Structure formats: C-alpha cells, structure tokens
C-alpha cells in the first residue's frame, strides 16, 4: 500500500475542475475521513456535507470513483490503490465543491404524494394492522429509506427526464399505497402515474444495486405501476 492517497476532488459548481490532494493513508479510513482531512488540514475552503459519520443520517453521499456512495461507510482500503475521485452526487444541482442542492429531490417526495393522508374516519378507533399482512410487508420492505439520494443519483431515468420523480420518492409513495390507514390513494396514484412517474421506470435496478440500505425501489415502483394502471382503467378522480 502506498503511504499517501491521491484524492481528486471536484471544486466549483456546475462548472469547475478537479483538484488533487495528497492525504496520508490510515487504518480503517473512510472516504469521508479523506475529505475531512483535506478540509481541516489542506484547504479550509472545501465545502461538503455530513452529520452523523456512522450511516444513520444519509447526508454524506457523494460520487466516489464514478459510483454514488455514503462516504462515511466506504473504506478507502476497499477501493484499491489508484487515485480516489470524489465528486458531488449526480442528477442534482451542484452548489459548491461536494455539496449539492437537495431541494429538487425532496420536492419530488411531496409531488409523489409522499405525505400520509388520514382517512375520513381517523380517530374513530385504532387501525389494526396485522404485521404479517401482505400490504404491511410491502410497506415494511421500503420504509427504512433515510433519503440520502444515492438511488436518485444512480438513476438514468432522472438524468434523461428532469421531471422524473425518481426511485426514492416513488418508493415512499409505494409504502403509503401499502398503508391501509391512508385516505389519499386516488390522488397519490394520479401523482405517480405516467411518463414522469412510475411508468417511465425500465427496471435497470441501479437504485437497488447502489442503495446503501439494500432497499429495492425497483420492486416498489413495479407495485405502483400495477396499482396506477388499475386506477387508470377504473377511471374516477
């Protein structure tokens, strides 16, 4: 192992260039450690985003050697000896250096009907949701998403159509479609149908491939495709 890591880090916004830094190699060193070393010791003007450092918050996602990853959970030793290329997440506006604007990403959660809508008789009694019921299992499968946007950055459909809602927002919608207590299903299915929604997905599965939590947005979106087609054929709303 070489004693130093050659880190090529993106500087600038939509336009910019790579700047190369030499960072000492350490044991159990993560990519986030490398970025932090650069900012603390070599260039305090480097901008990046992180919070928890332990894979809970989902704010340190960046493009590492061409793949979207959580930098806090990516060990440098697993990436080989070559230069380390660190860029901001793809498919989102670059603000400065490694920080992207997450607003379009979260706007799409709202657009996809990502909010729970109480049904009309909410409060009448507690809803009994059997943990083993098929709908609850569907919701369970997708509910651990922490919104890091790794899937969004990995999705070709997002780069081909900026209006496409993306894997995370659609996955969120599917957990609510699978929630028997929710009263906003017709509006939600209308929001996710069509060529900027679930029906644009080609099951390339880059979302599933790169999700740090091993979630499966592809399967969630498949569920939405069927549900939205059923709703379209029935008409109404």
Does residue 78 touch other proteins according to CB under 8 A? no
Three-class SS state of 130: coil
d(CA 98, CA 86): 8
Nearer to other proteins, 60 or 207 (CB): 207
Residues of this chain, 107-136, that bind other proteins according to CB under 8 A: none
Q: Does 10 bind other proteins (CB under 8 A)?
A: yes
| Of the candidates 39, 132, 1, 153, the residue with the CA atom closest to the CA atom of residue 87 | 153
101 binds other proteins (CB under 8 A): no
CA distances from 146 to 59, 168, 189, 192 (A): 9, 9, 22, 20
Nearer to other proteins, 59 or 220 (CB): 220
C-beta of 77 vs 205, nearer to other proteins: 205
CA 14 – CA 150 distance, rounded (Å): 19
* Binding of residue 197 to other proteins (CB under 8 A): yes
Residue among 194, 145, 175, 165 at smallest CA distance from 104: 165
Q: Which residues bind other proteins (CB under 8 A)?
A: 10, 12, 14-17, 63, 65-68, 87, 90, 94, 153-154, 156-157, 160-161, 186, 189-190, 193-195, 197, 199, 202-206, 208-210, 216, 218-219, 222, 225-226, 228-229, 231-233, 235-237
């Amino acid at each position: 192992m070489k004693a130093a890591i050659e880190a090529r880090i993106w500087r600038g916004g939509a336009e910019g260039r790579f700047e190369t830094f030499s960072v000492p190699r350490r044991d159990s060193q993560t990519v986030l450690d490398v970025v932090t070393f650069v900012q603390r010791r070599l260039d305090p003007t480097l901008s990046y985003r992180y919070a928890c450092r332990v894979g809970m918050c989902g704010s340190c996602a960046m493009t590492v050697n061409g793949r979207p990853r959580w930098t806090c959970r990516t060990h440098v030793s697993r990436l080989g000896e070559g230069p380390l290329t660190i860029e901001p997440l793809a498919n989102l506006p670059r603000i400065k250096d490694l920080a992207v604007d997450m607003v379009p990403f979260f706007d799409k959660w709202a657009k996809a009907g990502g909010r729970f809508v109480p049904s009309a008789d909410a409060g009448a009694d507690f809803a009994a949701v059997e943990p083993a019921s098929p709908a609850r299992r569907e919701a369970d499968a997708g509910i651990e998403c922490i919104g890091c946007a790794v899937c969004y950055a990995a999705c070709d459909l997002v780069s081909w159509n900026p209006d496409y809602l993306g894997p995370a927002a659609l996955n969120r919608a599917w957990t609510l479609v699978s929630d028997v207590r929710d009263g906003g299903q017709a509006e939600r299915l209308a929001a996710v149908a069509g060529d900027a929604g679930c029906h644009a997905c080609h099951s390339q599965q880059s979302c599933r491939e790169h999700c740090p939590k091993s979630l499966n947005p592809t399967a969630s979106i498949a569920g939405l495709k069927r549900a939205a087609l059923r709703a379209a054929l029935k008409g109404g709303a």
